[in-house]
Structure 1
Amino acid sequence: MAGSERIFLQAIRRYCAGHGIAVEIRSGGWLIAMRRGATCRFAFGYDIGLNSAIAHRLANDKSAAGEALSLAQVPCVPHHLFLNPSLGVHVAGTAWHDAMLALLAQNPQGVVVKPNEGTSGRAVFKVTNRNELDRAMTEVFSSSLGLVIAPYVEIEDEVRVILLEGRPMIVYRKERPSVTGDGVHTLHELATAAGHGRQLRELEARETKNVLAKGERRILNWRHNLDAGAEPVLMDDGEVRAACVKLAADAASAIGITFASIDVVRVDGAWRVLEINSGVMMEALAKLHPELVHATYDAALDRVFGED
């Protein structure tokens, strides 16, 4: 088995080997056929095949998911949809740019621009002025049919809840990279020594030259994405975990999704849903807790093949 093979694929191979299920890999590992007798089930990308088509589409569409959650009165971060103008005025309309500028004006703290579909924090931009908005818009529209604009909010905490049929399988915080000052070294020196040098590109150059006061903690990235350097930290039982699970379960119920990872954030002391992901990706978590990841995929595959 190749060391670079995705944990998702490794988990499927291992499960199928133990249950007499033949596995056939196509499309460079992104399409997986699982056969047992006359039964054939497919996994695609990180979607294991438990979710309905409409639930999958709602989850993968940030704007539609937000609308569905609002209809169900589930607290969420709003995502305003803008279609690529290359689709034509009959689809994208003519006032889309003015509407973008209006949203920016309504949110003086800034907005976040990102593809309407997609994960891992790619092509996600924090925007505070028109020039930044136009650059972000151009970048996202170069590879996406639609983008969403959400108000920038100071996220105090972000938690991912992985649910299977409403049951929390894994709950973890996304802990962003940070350094603590010693009153001697600059932010650049502290981050480099801690192995967070690549995070400095998120900051202005003059800021990295500042000496941090002793005991001062500085978070290096405004994004909580695991691909952006955040670390998954499992949560213990308690009120906070219970609140996150309850909110995630309400969100899953609102769109009728069976197996999903749901990101919830705390803003001004209140929890709300940020995103729902139909494809359950646990590559970063598997480096720390492989047994937990395999157990979760095993439980999902039991449902796929009708096991108890």
Structure 2
Amino acid sequence: MTPEPEPGTPTIALRLNIARELGWRVECLDPETGWLWLLERDGRRRVLHGAHASINDHAAAAIALDKDYTARVLAHFGVRVPVSARCLGPEVIFDSLGNDPYPDQRGLAPALALASSHGFPLIVKPNRGSRGRAVIVVEDEEGLARALSEAWKVGRLALAQVPVPGFDLRVDVLDRELLLAYVRRPLALVGDGRSTLIELHERADPRARSPSFAAKLRASAPWIETLRGAELSPDSVLADGRRLDFATTIYNLHHCCVGELVPELPQRWVELANEIAGYIGLRHAGVDLRLPLVDGGDPLDQPVEVATVLEVNASPAVGQIARLGARAEAEAAERRVVSTMLEELGPA
């Protein structure tokens, strides 16, 4: 008997397991990637594409996929968003006569204007994309040009943004109810005088025990640059009490960051996430917020007006936070998502 292909991501695996528990038959339609799955039960069918849930309507999900348009909608309603410039890649979006309808947004110039008014560093990212792919912190014009070139490989529109430092909070909601909330922090390793950086990393982040995940993370710029700056190697032993911080303004669980559940999120933050999802028209959303740090205090004690919305995800994935130790909570959240998605199919 041919073994079933591996799901493409931890979130896909979670959703398939829950579908099986609910009595659905699961079949992979793309064994090479594990991204396309057919679910069937009692004459009903649902095709799953990656970790995309089919709860939101197409128009709302399309807005959320567009980081620039999401920010424009939220700014219209008075929500704080990052200061940004959009930069069209070369030789795209010309009209039928070969004229350029958007010359002021073409190439490097909008990002240079942003740097002139706000200075460096800046963050460059594709307008569409996930998992932190081609998201780069740049310190000068040369780095800005390189980063935009990388972002244009992902999509024809890139964004340059003024960084928003602070406390990073993710809030996932479904139909105005909280699913899950967690904070993301840059990875930090503290030496004990005996363990190598690899060993310390495996203790700080259980995902690092997976060879594939560890290899990907240790090939990332934050890992390489932090070790280089500290004149260390992966086999170096940190002195007892010495702390190594992987400083970054890009908090992404696919890179040098870890996450921790917020067990009791104050209701006003849930209401803010619901409000933001509502502006976009989303029922199911993951809202990324950045809050100012508070000396000696809890950032969550602040009023919601201080928060900046970094992004809104129309199909938030929980696979990484599950692997970081919150499996029961992530499974409970996904059970609600999958149940909603499949129950709305109705009878055959």
TM range, smaller chain? 0.7 to 0.9
* 1:19 partnered with 2:22: yes
Match of 2:201, SS state, is: coil
Shift in alpha-carbon separation, 1:305–1:292, aligned structure 2, 3 A: same
Asked whether the 8 Å contact 1:42–1:48 carries over to 2, the reply is: no
Structure 2 residues not aligned, in runs of 5+: 203-216, 233-237, 295-305
* 1:233 partnered with 2:270: no
Match of 1:226, SS state, is: coil
Cα distance in 1 between the residues matched to 2:319 and 2:15: 14
Asked whether the 8 Å contact 1:63–1:78 carries over to 2, the reply is: no
Match of 1:46, SS state, is: coil
Shift in alpha-carbon separation, 1:267–1:90, aligned structure 2, 3 A: farther
For 1:193-232, list aligned pairs within 5 A: 194-195=200-201, 198=218, 199-203=222-226, 205-208=228-231, 219-222=245-248, 223-232=250-259
For 1:123-272, list aligned pairs within 5 A: 123-154=134-165, 156-180=166-190, 194-195=200-201, 198=218, 199-203=222-226, 205-208=228-231, 219-222=245-248, 223-237=250-264, 239=266, 242-267=267-292, 270-272=306-308
Asked whether the 8 Å contact 2:24–2:41 carries over to 1, the reply is: yes
Cα distance in 2 between the residues matched to 1:22 and 1:238: 36
- Normalising by structure 2, what TM-score? 0.75
Cα distance in 2 between the residues matched to 1:258 and 1:43: 18
Give the equivalent residue in structure 1 for 2:62.
Answer: 57
Residue 214 of structure 1: how far off its partner (Å): 9.2
Shift in alpha-carbon separation, 1:3–1:82, aligned structure 2, 3 A: same
Give the alignment partner of residue 332 of structure 2, picking from 273, 295, 302: 295
Asked whether the 8 Å contact 1:62–1:79 carries over to 2, the reply is: no
Aligned residues with identical type, % of pairs? 22
- Normalising by structure 1, what TM-score? 0.84
Residue 235 of structure 1: how far off its partner (Å): 0.9
The code of the aligned residue for 2:167 comes to D
* 1:281 partnered with 2:308: no
Q: Which one is further off, 111-120 or 97-106?
A: 97-106
Asked whether the 8 Å contact 2:85–2:159 carries over to 1, the reply is: yes
Cα distance in 2 between the residues matched to 1:206 and 1:50: 45
Residue 268 of structure 1: how far off its partner (Å): 6.1
The code of the aligned residue for 1:294 comes to E
CA RMSD of aligned residues (A): 3.1
Structure 1 residues not aligned, in runs of 5+: none
Residue 4 of structure 1: how far off its partner (Å): 5.1
For 1:88-107, list aligned pairs within 5 A: 88=94, 90=100, 92-93=102-103, 96=106, 97-107=108-118
Cα distance in 2 between the residues matched to 1:162 and 1:208: 39
Cα distance in 2 between the residues matched to 1:29 and 1:68: 34
Shift in alpha-carbon separation, 1:243–1:176, aligned structure 2, 3 A: farther
